[in-house]
A and B are shown apart, each in its own frame.
Chain A
Amino acid sequence: MLNDTFYDSINDKDAVPFDSLDAVDSSYFSKKLPTGDLENINHHVLDSTDNRTHVKYDSWTASSTKKINPHDLDVAAELIAHRLQSNERKNAPQWLVQNKWVGYVSHIDNEKGEFTARLQDVTQPDNPQEVAVFPTEDVSEADYDIFSEGATFTWSVGYSIQNKSKVRGGVIRFSRFKGASEKSIADAKKLAEELDDLFD
């Protein structure tokens, strides 16, 4: 579980507001949340009328996230799970983020068991782009299906704090965006045809 710093730092002025949960693959949420919670979320979820995203659930509203990329199911699910489990979290190890990057896999070397990634520092956004090499074993099993060249992820480093002891660590989370549907591909194809007049 990630702390509030995570949600504050995903705000991105270029991101578009989350439209509605209709767009969300509920089977994905079911992997993250208990069935009962999932049902409630389907009925209460999101309000984007003020161009910001708020998760409404029972008596509370999670509004620490102002905008969410509409494709990013992971972030929405994390936000909801984060609030649902806030009480349990009090006793769980606290994760303190020191620095966070967004990145994408630029090359996978299966022989060496590593991948190269292009990174952009989110904590220090003025920093130049960076390159890092990670062992493939850093990719969690849950992300194997989407781990490929071009896949985007966040990398956070920081401390895990429990019982007053601090341990340095890092977390890679791959972003699970909604895949392109047959309809969106067909629409793109139709629009692409309009470019034909640019060619002889």
Chain B
Amino acid sequence: MTYLTEDLAPHICHDGKPDRVCISIFGPGIGESILVGLPDEGWIIIDSLKNPDTKRPVTLEYLELLHKKAKDNLISTLATHWHDDHIRGMSDIIRECESTDFFMSAALNNDEFKTLAYLTSEFTPSKGMTSGVKEMFDILAALKKRIPKTKIKLASNSKCLFRSSCGLFELTSLSPSDASILTANSEFSSLIAAQKQTRKIVPSSKNLDSVALWLKTKHHNILLGADLENVASPNTGWKAVISDNTKPLGKASFVKIPHHGSQNAHNDDVWKHMVSSKSHSFVTEYSSSKLPRERDIERLKKHTSSLYQTSLSSQKKKVKRDKNVEKTIKQLNKTVKSAESKIGQILVIFDNEGDWSINLNEHAKQIF
């Protein structure tokens, strides 16, 4: 992949620190990772994914390319939730960057999740088969080794996670709601019980413990939807965010679409009450479930002025395979597709006057 650095680095980074507000969204076909730069403050990593070629977290690689000291200015790392496609490689970040704080969903601060993490920490059915719970365990283990210890900070509804000294920037978590935190215990208990019959990869669950974020800057609000979904209960998911009257005021001009654009994560009220009518949006792919689908794109057209996607299914990484094997697969009437696209990067740069530019590497694309 090619990171967006060559011409743009001098505009966004000075002596390892961000020179202006900038947001990079990375997506490889499955998963996503976001890097936020706040001038005079430092960098914040939200979720993580690995470069399949180098096996290193893309955000760290990118920071190293920007400046040799950039990693030293990583102030916070946040896991929006524990699913594999959002935290792959995050333990490497925690190990390499001793200065970074760590934030995670308050729904994970319970005995059941920590027990599940320990229980599955040594279970690797095969090389390359990764698990989000195991990565969470590695993060917790890396934090435990730190001297002095770094306390984990918990994100939940309407909680300010970071405020800059100048007061211009504020990062607030919008979820999980109190109800989601309370019900998380029983979900993790069920996942532990499921390991009794036979060990297996801990399957992904509903994304109700996911941390959606609100970034306030001098001129713009930015909504980072994580994987938060919309369910029938008014006390969880996006409905809980809408009904929470302590959340930050204002409307977002930029949106990272939640949960790869799925219908499950759509809430009309979010678009109506929390997002500007002329917003610009970004979506990452989840090719296992073929997200976003054509109908998701059509729906989003009604709500946002423009949409950019980090990677496209047409740019899948090539699979090397013998012709005879292909013939057998075809004869068995099976479709086996590469799940990984080349990593796309969308870089939004804001200047001090509130103007902005959206930059794409060769794998990302404007959809409309």
Contact = CB atoms under 8 A, between A and B. Distances in A.
* A, B: real partners: yes
Interface of A: 12-15, 69, 71-72, 98-99, 102, 104-107, 116, 118-134, 145-146, 148-152, 157-159, 168-170, 175-181, 184-185, 187-189, 191-195, 197-200
Contacts, number: 181
Contacts of B321: 99, 124, 127
A146 B198 CA distance: 7
A170 B52 CA distance: 28
Interface of B: 30, 52, 109, 111, 114-119, 123-129, 140, 143-144, 149-152, 154, 192, 194-204, 287-289, 316-317, 319-322, 324-325, 327-329, 331-332, 334-340
B336 A130 contact: yes
Main SS at interface, chain A:
mixed
Contact of A130 (B126, B319, B325): B319
Interface of B is mostly: loop
Contacts of B52: 128
Contact of A200 (B151, B199, B203): B151
B124 A199 contact: no
Nearest to B111: A192
A192 B118 contact: yes
A175 B125 contact: yes
A170 B198 contact: no
B119 A180 contact: yes
B201 A152 contact: yes
Given A98-B325, A189-B111, 17 more contacts: A71-B199, A102-B126, A119-B336, A125-B128, A127-B321, A127-B338, A130-B319, A131-B287, A146-B200, A150-B194, A151-B200, A168-B331, A178-B199, A188-B116, A189-B115, A192-B118, A195-B144
B152 A128 contact: no
B149 A198 contact: yes
A157 B328 contact: yes
8 cross-chain pairs, A with B, having the tightest CB-CB distances, nearest first: A192-B114, A188-B118, A177-B199, A149-B203, A150-B203, A128-B340, A150-B200, A188-B119
A148 to B, nearest CB: 7
A187 B118 CA distance: 9
A195 B114 contact: yes
B333 to A, nearest CB: 9
Contacts of A168: 327-328, 331-332
B288 A116 contact: yes
30 contacts: A12-B126, A98-B322, A98-B324, A99-B322, A104-B201, A107-B289, A120-B127, A122-B126, A123-B325, A127-B320, A128-B319, A129-B128, A129-B339, A130-B336, A130-B339, A131-B337, A145-B197, A151-B198, A152-B201, A168-B328, A175-B198, A177-B123, A179-B196, A184-B119, A192-B111, A192-B114, A195-B140, A197-B149, A198-B143, A200-B151
A148 B125 CA distance: 15
Contacts of B317: 128
Contact of B109 (A69, A130, A158, A199): A199
Contacts of B123: 71, 177
A149 B288 CA distance: 14
A120 B128 contact: yes
Nearest to B324: A98
B201 A150 contact: yes
Nearest to A174: B198
B232 to A, nearest CB: 19
A116 B289 CA distance: 9
> Max chain B CB contacts within 10 Å: which of A71, A150, A184?
A150
Contact of A102 (B125, B324, B329): B125
A196 B15 CA distance: 38
A133 to B, nearest CB: 7
Contacts of A157: 325, 328-329, 332
Contact of B200 (A104, A118, A169): A104
A133 B151 CA distance: 43
Contacts of B322: 98-99
Nearest to A119: B336
A121 B326 CA distance: 13
A101 to B, nearest CB: 8
B205 to A, nearest CB: 9
Contacts of A194: 144
Nearest to A191: B118
Given A169-B332, A195-B140, A129 B340 contact: yes
B151 A199 contact: yes
Contacts of B200: 104, 146, 148, 150-152, 177
Most buried by B among A121, A131, A151, A197: A131
B32 to A, nearest CB: 16
Nearest to A198: B152
Contact of B319 (A121, A122, A178, A188): A121
B127 A13 contact: yes
Interface centre among A107, A120, A188, A193, by most chain B C-beta atoms within 10 angstroms, is A188
A130 B337 contact: yes
